[in-house]
Amino acid sequence: MYDLVVVGAGPAGYTAALYAKRYDLDVVVVGEELGGLCNEAYIVENWPGTEEIEGQKLMNNMQEQIEGIGVEVKQEKVERIGRNDTFLLETDNETLEARSVILALGADKRRLDIEGEEDLVGRGVSYCVTCDGPLYRGSEVAVIGGADSGLKASMLLAEYAEKVQVFEATDEITAEEIMFQRCRGNDKIEINTGMVPQKFVGEDELEKIVFENGEEVEVDGAFIEIGSVPNRSIEKIGEEEVQRDEDGFIEISEDMSTNIEGVFSAGDVTTGSNKMRQILTAAAEGAVAAFSAYRYVGEKKL
């Protein structure tokens, strides 16, 4: 029996566990992907007190910190959560019992959902520059998306590829000005606006991208960086649905509570922090959620 099970092993989940342990709760973190999407961040430059750090290194630091104070981290997938007097979390390996739950499910990469995308994943179409960028040394690649994640991906790809073409669907780049200027100053990077992908073409591997304006661009690889969508792996607690907004984000109160008593949520999956979806805001929500779980367990004398 745990006081708290944190579902999700990203910055929100790790910070929730850190604070829960300081409140002397018996807490465990369960996550299918340790570190979450933050592992794919090439360089993090807005984590306070640190000029720059690799995303994976930052997540490793967080995990080592909580394990160092006695928090167990389990790399398992929570497949369903039942409820009687307590919560029963069924993973792909075991069943855990808890007095309270924090859903720190994070987000998943958004897909274009266009022709050829699904067929060519892993054969030229990718969602992870950190993972697959080194495979394209000396090649010509495309990045779909002109926001912060797209331009950061382009900067990393420019270290490997011969040419990087950025394609943004709207008529203007929405990334931070500092990142935009860095890309403009890189001779390997070309930025194109008003370009909406229509389909990916290729037999055994990606050969070209066809755009809605009729243009066709031959590339060796395409990296899709068009943001993320909230993770929907947990939709119900027992028979009760977790309330979400029209975009799929878990609706929370200011104390991170959901519509289900004893269930809290934090991070990119929530409606909190004006949906900024930053490592910093995820961590902050995790801290608040842990304090709320602590109060819940105490007030209910569980």
| Neighbouring-strand partners of residue 164 | 141, 189
Q: Residue 143: which CATH number?
A: 3.50.50.60
Residue-by-residue DSSP string for 59-95:
HHHHHHHHHHTT-EEE---EEEEEESSSEEEEESS-E
**Domain-terminating residue out of 200, 224, 248:** 224
* Same domain flag for 243 and 98: yes
Q: Are residues 42 and 77 in the same domain?
A: yes
Quick one: DSSP state of residue 115?
B
153 class by beta-carbon count within 10 Å (0-12 exposed, 13-18 middle, 19+ buried): buried
Would you say 272 and 285 are in contact if contact means Cβ atoms under 8 Å apart? Answer: yes
- Residue 5's closest CA among 38, 35, 29? 29
Say how far apart CA 214 and CA 136 lie, in whole Å: 26
134 lies in the same domain as 217: yes
Contacts of 290 (CB under 8 A, 6+ apart): 4, 15, 16, 17, 18, 19, 20, 23, 25, 102
Same domain, 268 and 282: yes
Of 181, 199, 224, the residue that ends a domain is 224
Block mean pLDDT (10 aa), the chain, length 302: 97 98 98 93 89 94 98 98 96 96 96 96 92 93 95 94 97 91 96 97 96 97 95 96 97 98 98 94 98 95 66
Please list the residues that pair with 54 across neighbouring strands. none
**pLDDT at residue number 300:** 81
| Total of domains in the chain | 2
**Do 167 and 129 lie in a common domain?**
yes
119: in domain: no
**What DSSP string describes 213-246?**
TS-EEE-SEEEE-S-EEE--S--EETTEEPPB-T
Range of the domain at 76: 2-108+229-299
| pTM, two decimal places | 0.88
The pLDDT assigned to 41 comes to 83
For the chain, where are the E strands, in sequence order? 2-7, 27-30, 72-74, 78-83, 87-91, 95-103, 107-109, 125-126, 140-144, 163-168, 189-193, 197-201, 208-211, 216-218, 221-224, 228-230, 236-237, 240-241, 263-265
**Domain edge (last residue) among 168, 193, 224:** 224
Residue 116 placed within a domain = no
Give which of 177, 219, 189 is closest to 201, Cα–Cα.
Answer: 219
